[in-house]
Structure 1
Amino acid sequence: MKIITDPTELQRQCLDWRKQGHTIGLVPTMGYLHHGHTSLIDRARTECDKLVISVFVNPAQFGENEDLDSYPRDFESDRAKAEAHGVDLIFAPEPGSMYADNHATWVEAPRLGEHLCGTTRPIHFRGVCTVVTKLFMLTQAEVAVFGEKDWQQFAILRRMVRDLNMPIRLIGHPIVREEDGLALSSRNAYLTEEERAVAPNIRKGLLKLVDKAKGGERDCAALKQFLADEYAAALPMGEVDYIEIVDPDEISPLRTIARSALAAVAVRMGKARLIDNILIEV
């Protein structure tokens, strides 16, 4: 397994693989790999000849007072897990090699980023789209795999690929969870023992909301209030960032559920900001 830190060297290697007729797959990560990441890697491994993962805590997607400096990192563990799951190349650049001092070019899909995480993290998706575009260009990947826990991110990246005619296929992988239902996240490491014990109630509340919708309640305001009440009782130390019900593709808020909808939440618990979602099909 190769480890490359220089973007030009990465592009040179991947172009050489393409010349040899190899298909290239990509799994972008910010490192601190867990079972959720390795499930994405395993999925991508079935789709390509050469598999690249990035390990890069992208500063462009962090706003002021966010956890850029404290974001968990463990490159040696990442290296071992990547090698064990058949990764051919880890790209682990320094921020200065990805963003020059006078960097002036950004990629974004503003309308899809207006709601959910975009409300409190206004530059986040611009940073995501820009770094992912750079990774697509550097790796020449034909397929990339993303987790559906970040549903809004995946919807935005799908739209970016469609609108800019990027020659790459995106695959969404279902949320990977702990046995008690908590969605896997690198930020789960921030949780105290007490916070970790109640965090699965995020998922339990979403399941109750789906049951209520399938039972006949289609008014989104009523459903959101129902879930807010559930969280107030079940997550006493949590602070709800948002509870929204949106169109799964447009990420625009819905008033009523006619066919399908996405219920998405973000809850702050201590140092952690946890997100989750669930599709509602009625």
Structure 2
Amino acid sequence: MNQPAVVHTRAGLGPARAALDDGEVAVVMTMGALHEGHAALIREARRRARHVVVTIFLNPLQFGPREDLSRYPRTVDSDLEICAREGVDLVFMPTPDVVYPDGDPGVRVSAGPLGDVLEGQARAGHFDGVLTVVGKLLHLIRPDLAYYGQKDAQQLLLIRRMVRDLDFPVEVVAVPTVREPDDLAMSSRNIYLTDSDREVALALSRALRAGAAIAAEGPSAVRRAARTELVAEPLALVDYLVLVHPENLLDVPEWYRGEALLAVAARVGTTRLIDNLPVRLGPGGGPLESFSGNGLVPADEPATGDA
């Protein structure tokens, strides 16, 4: 098992990245606390790219004033073990003063209106912080491909939009959500769940499955079935449960037929969890592993789906 090169500075990154000049380079961006969901991203990247770079950076810009940055798990040794096991070529593990040498950046990437709903409404400014660091890392790494998980659906949508709107020369690739054997979506936050919390948390995936199972009946049936599962678990404090178009995050109307995103966020114990399922609404509908073409319809197409 070859150990990846590990660099911590811009000066070290330059020559390390230049050495990966004999084929496509893919990047997997993380905040550390790697788990099998991250490993799946790395494996997908390795299937297509000759070289894989993993970034491990706990980005302070995407934590709000009520979110405890110091509480986020830090597992550097096991992170590097996973990178080595999965054949990563290069790990870039900077500190905040490397990424933001002048302190908080005066110029940031704005997520726009799509960053103010759902997760953005619960975490003001979060997506501006995400896009700012993703943009900086894309410039520093210069990858051909960038891999992100479908679990963070809104983040994935916004990164795609930034790449398209600002002409970043990179292809964004989505990877389906990886789940625990009990169907809980893998997340670094799961470490905070007690055994009883975990039982409560399973209501999220049950709700999504229940809604997706009757997607052929249309949006109202999906929302009703999912909500019924959540109401049955009063210890899951629901922030939102939505069925939205995957490109504009607007609630889909009852007549809508086509692909949609069924998404939920809830607090279980002291931990806030998110989950989602892509679904196809209408005749023959049901859960999807991912959206068709591993992407989303262009923003200028109307959100009408299949009439």
* TM bracket (short chain): over 0.9
- The corresponding residue for 2:122 is 120
Aligned length, in residue pairs:
276
- The corresponding residue for 1:274 is 273
Separation of aligned partners in 2, 1:223 and 1:119: 23
Separation of aligned partners in 2, 1:241 and 1:133: 29
Q: 1:108 to 1:8 in 2, by over 3 A?
A: farther
SS in 1 for 2:276: strand
Separation of aligned partners in 2, 1:49 and 1:27: 14
**Aligned residue type for 1:39:** A
**Aligned residue type for 1:95:** P
Cα offset for 1:254? 2.4
SS in 2 for 1:46: helix
Cα offset for 1:243? 0.9
The equivalences for 1:23-172 within 5 A come to 23-99=24-100, 100-101=102-103, 103-172=105-174
Separation of aligned partners in 1, 2:85 and 2:222: 44
TM-score by length of 2: 0.85
Separation of aligned partners in 1, 2:167 and 2:9: 27
- The corresponding residue for 2:238 is 240
Q: Residues 72-121 of structure 1: CA distance to partner in whole angstroms, max 9, x if unpaired? A: 11100101111111011111111121122252121123122122101111
Q: Which structure has more RCO (C-alpha within 8 Å, separation ≥ 6)?
A: 1
**Cα pair 1:26 1:53 within 8 Å, conserved:** yes
- The corresponding residue for 2:298 is none
Separation of aligned partners in 1, 2:69 and 2:48: 32
Matched, 1:13 2:16: yes
- The corresponding residue for 2:193 is 191
**Cα pair 1:15 1:139 within 8 Å, conserved:** no
**Cα pair 1:115 1:252 within 8 Å, conserved:** no
**Cα pair 2:149 2:176 within 8 Å, conserved:** yes
- The corresponding residue for 2:206 is 204
Q: Residues 5-62 of structure 1: CA distance to partner in whole angstroms, max 9, x if unpaired? A: 11342134324533xx332110000111110000100111122222110111111111
- State the 4+ residue runs in structure 1 displaced beyond 6 angstroms: none
Q: Bigger shift: 146-155 or 4-13?
A: 4-13
**Cα pair 2:219 2:252 within 8 Å, conserved:** no
- The corresponding residue for 2:248 is 250
| Percent sequence identity over aligned pairs | 39
In structure 2, the gaps of 5 or more residues are 283-307
Cα offset for 1:223? 4.5
- The corresponding residue for 1:22 is 23
- Kindly report the root-mean-square deviation, in angstroms, between the aligned alpha carbons of the 2 structures: 1.6
Q: 1:268 to 1:165 in 2, by over 3 A?
A: same
Cα offset for 1:225? 5.0
Separation of aligned partners in 1, 2:19 and 2:177: 34
SS in 2 for 1:72: coil
Cα offset for 1:185? 0.3
Separation of aligned partners in 2, 1:8 and 1:247: 43
Q: Bigger shift: 142-151 or 223-232?
A: 223-232
Separation of aligned partners in 2, 1:183 and 1:131: 24
**Cα pair 2:27 2:54 within 8 Å, conserved:** yes
**Cα pair 2:153 2:276 within 8 Å, conserved:** yes
Separation of aligned partners in 1, 2:120 and 2:242: 12
Separation of aligned partners in 1, 2:50 and 2:187: 28
Q: Residues 188-227 of structure 1: CA distance to partner in whole angstroms, max 9, x if unpaired? A: 001011011232221111111123332x2433xx754543
Separation of aligned partners in 2, 1:147 and 1:102: 27
